[in-house]
Amino acid sequence: MMMKLDKKFAGKDFITLHDFSHEDIVYMLDVADHIKREKKAGQAINYLQGKTLGMIFLKNSTRTRVSFETGIYYLGGVGLFLSAADLQIGRGEPIKDTARTLSRFLNGIMIRTFSHDDVLELAQFADIPVINGLTDLLHPCQALADVQTIREHKGELKGLKMVYFGDGNNMAHSLMFAGAKLGMEVVIASPEGYQPDQHIFELATKDALANGGSVKVIADPLAAAQGADVLYTDVWASMGQEAEAEKRIKALQSYQLNDKLLSVAKKDAIVLHCLPAKRGLEITDEVIEGAQSVVFDEAENRLFAQMAVMALIMQDK
């Protein structure tokens, strides 16, 4: 049976989890779980019948494109794939003009791009909801799917220790916000020069204090892994950082998620990776294929977490 959705989300942007309260995020997770159950039971999930989502991809993708395109279809709507080659943005049209034009045609916009400022400008000038599908600063859709996956496997989120290993990138930032808002103990294990953005850390620390959680950044990966409930990693060189790959491998090689780190975590700890994975670099093949890995459950939940976001913010007011 389709869920009656809270109208307070209608028309809102989804740019960062920092913008939402603990209760908001828990509600999003509840909607995601409900939609997942409905879909697997073969029930109607056409929350967005006849709606259109423009999907702007200035950065290539596998999971983001397939999950959004499939998700809007399952919800009863239509997704339009728009690359730089398809849009006048690629020929220099200002984002503010694109935002106002697309607002006349669509019911929502998802953008996956490099600069976070592009998303902020798009949201400022669009009259329809904007979803951050990824920027170099944040990846909130992935973090929402991550905490959905953790809750599925652990039952509760509050008080769990989640440790992220490697580059303090967009994924580390969004995990800090998600964990902080949900009362988790978040530890980022990164070397000097690769630690998270200080401003994001300060915001997440305030979020944690307000919700009974904590956020910590340390350099020692083995100390970080002690007693962890969740171990998480990401690629060391993200898209656009290929020229730095060799330097990054050298700096981050001791942060590999391997059996040594698993051995000091809790016996029932779970392993996550947002994918794509460079096996043998940030994570070993044995760990990603091991019994504690829930990486492909996590990948699947991108679909349902994003369907929840779309259903909530693209619904009629």
Same topology for domains 7-138+300-313 and 140-299, yes or no? yes
Give yes or no: 141 in active site: no
pLDDT at res. 1: 85
Give yes or no: 234 in active site: yes
Instruction: Please tell me which residue in 22, 136, 141, 142 is annotated as part of the active site.
Output: 142
Which of 201, 157, 146, 202 has the alpha carbon at shortest distance from 182? 157
Pairing between β-strand 52-57 and β-strand 108-112 as defined by DSSP bridges: parallel
The reply to whether CATH 3.30.70.100 applies to domain 140-299 is: no
For residue 242, with 0-12 CB atoms within 10 Å meaning exposed, 13-18 middle and 19 or more buried, which class applies?
exposed
Q: Where are the domains of the chain?
A: 7-138+300-313, 140-299
The answer to whether the predicted template modeling score (pTM) of the entire model surpasses 0.85 is: yes
Instruction: Please tell me which residue in 273, 302, 306, 315 is annotated as part of the active site.
Output: 302
Give yes or no: 30 in active site: no
Instruction: Please tell me which residue in 18, 22, 34, 112 is annotated as part of the active site.
Output: 112
Contacts of 215 (CB under 8 A, 6+ apart): 176, 179, 180, 186, 188, 201, 204, 205, 207, 208
Instruction: Please tell me which residue in 136, 229, 234, 256 is annotated as part of the active site.
Output: 234
Give yes or no: 6 in active site: no
Contacts of 198 (CB under 8 A, 6+ apart): none
Give yes or no: 34 in active site: no
Quick one: fold of 7-138+300-313? Rossmann fold (3.40.50)
What's the distance, Cα to Cα, between the start and end of the chain in Å?
A: 21
pLDDT at res. 85: 82
pLDDT at res. 90: 58
Instruction: Please tell me which residue in 18, 116, 139, 248 is annotated as part of the active site.
Output: 139
Instruction: Please tell me which residue in 173, 273, 274, 315 is annotated as part of the active site.
Output: 274
Could you list the pLDDT tens digit for every one of the 317 residues in the chain?
899 999 999 999 999 999 999 999 999 999 999 999 999 999 999 999 999 999 999 988 999 999 999 999 999 999 999 988 888 775 688 999 999 999 999 999 999 999 999 999 999 999 999 999 999 999 999 999 999 999 999 999 999 999 999 999 999 999 999 999 999 999 999 999 999 999 999 999 999 999 999 999 999 999 999 999 999 999 998 766 777 888 999 999 999 999 999 999 999 999 999 999 999 999 999 999 999 999 999 999 999 999 999 999 999 99
Give yes or no: 302 in active site: yes
pLDDT at res. 239: 66
